[in-house]
Structure 1
Amino acid sequence: MMKPLFLLALLLAAPALAETHEVRMLNRGAAGAMVYEPDYLRIAPGDTVRFLPTQPGHNAASIEGMLPEGAAPFKSGINKEFELMPTQPGAYGVKCSPHVAMGMVMLIEVGDRAEVALPEALPGKAAERFRAILAARP
C-alpha cells in the first residue's frame, strides 16, 4: 500500500522540478541597444523560457540553422508575451525579427554545452553579438 502512494507522490512532484526563466526584450540594456536580458541561458529540458515584451516592438523567433535536430521552429507575435518549453537538447538561436540586423539575438542551451555554428546568412551585428555570447558562456 505504501509503494503506490510513494510513486503517485513522485509523479505529482515531477512537474514542480521544471523552472521558468524570464527574458526581457529591451530597447536598451546593459549590453547596449536592442537586447534580450539575459542574452544567454543554459536550462534543463522541459524548463520554460518566458519572453517578456517590457518595451514595444519586439518578439522572439527561432533562427534558421540554429535549432537542435527535431526541434520545431517558433515565432511569437510582436509585443506579445511568449513561452517556449524546449525539450530537445542542444543550442537554440533566438532573434527579434524586427531587430536582428541590430544584433538582437540570444542563445539558449538545453542540457549540456552544445556545439554552435553561426549561419552564414546572419547579419554582421547579430553574428558579432553571438560571438560575444559564446566567448562569455561558462
Structure 2
Amino acid sequence: MLRTVATGLAVAVLIGGAAFAETFEVRMLNKGTDGERMVFEPAFIEAQPGDTIRFVAADKGHNAEINAGMAPAGAEAFKGKINEEIEITLEIEGVYGVICKPHFAMGMVMTIAVGDATVPEGFLEGRVPPKAKARFEAQLASL
C-alpha cells in the first residue's frame, strides 16, 4: 500500500507505514512571516539522507546555492538560477549552508542538517557578511 502524508511543509511517502523519503519545500521570500526581510522559509531543516529539498522562488530575484566551503566532503554542490525552482536530493550526512547569491549580504541564508549532523569546525570561516553570519549562528544553535 502506497500513501502520501503531508505534515506542514514536509511530505513523506509511506510504504506499509514506514517512512521512505521526505520532500521539504523552502520558499524564497522578500519578507518572511516573522517580518524579517530576504529569507528562506523555513531557514533550518533537519533531513535524512535521501530526502529532497525543493526551493520555490515565491518572490522574484532569488536563487538557492551552496555557499563555498559549507557542505560535507563529497557532497555535490548545487546552484539554482534566479527566479527558478530547484529541487535537490541530499545523500551525504552533514551540514549544508545555503545562500541566495543576490541577497547574501542581506542575510538570506539557511542551514540544512542531514542525518546525525554536527557543526563542522570552521564552518563559518571565510567571507561571510555579518548579517548572514548572525543568521547562520542562530540556525546552527538548533543542532
Give the TM-score, by structure 2 length. 0.82
Aligned equivalent of 2:140, options 131, 134, 138:
134
Q: Is the aligned partner of 1:59 residue 2:59? A: no
SS at match of 2:104: helix
In the TM superposition, what is the alpha-carbon distance from 1:133 to its structure 2 partner? 1.2
Q: How many residues align?
A: 124
What runs of 5+ residues in structure 2 fail to find an aligned partner?
1-14
Inter-CA distance 53–114: structure 2 relative to 1 (3 Å threshold): same
CA root-mean-square deviation: 1.5
Choose 1 or 2 for highest CA Rg.
1
5+ long unaligned stretches in structure 1: 1-12
Confirm whether residue 42 of structure 1 aligns to residue 43 of structure 2: no
Give deviations 1:42-77, integer Å, cap 9, x for gaps. Answer: 101000000010000000000111100001111001
Question: In the alignment, which residue of structure 2 is the partner of 1:24?
Answer: 27
Higher relative contact order by CA 8 Å / sep ≥ 6: 1 or 2? Answer: 1
Q: Given that residues 119 and 140 in structure 2 are in contact (C-alpha distance below 8 angstroms), is that contact kept between their aligned partners in structure 1?
A: no
Structure with the largest fraction of helix:
1
Would you say the 8 A contact 1:66–1:119 is kept in 2?
A: no
Matched, 1:89 2:108: no
1:122 corresponds to which letter in structure 2? V
8 Å CA contact retained: 2:51, 2:90: yes
Which residue is 1:119 aligned to? 125
- Percent of aligned positions with the same letter in both sequences? 50
Quick one: distance in 1 between partners of 2:45 and 2:117? 11
More strand by share: 2
Q: Which residue of 1 aligns with 2:12?
A: none
Letter in 1 for 2:21: A
Q: State yes or no: 1:33 paired with 2:33.
A: no
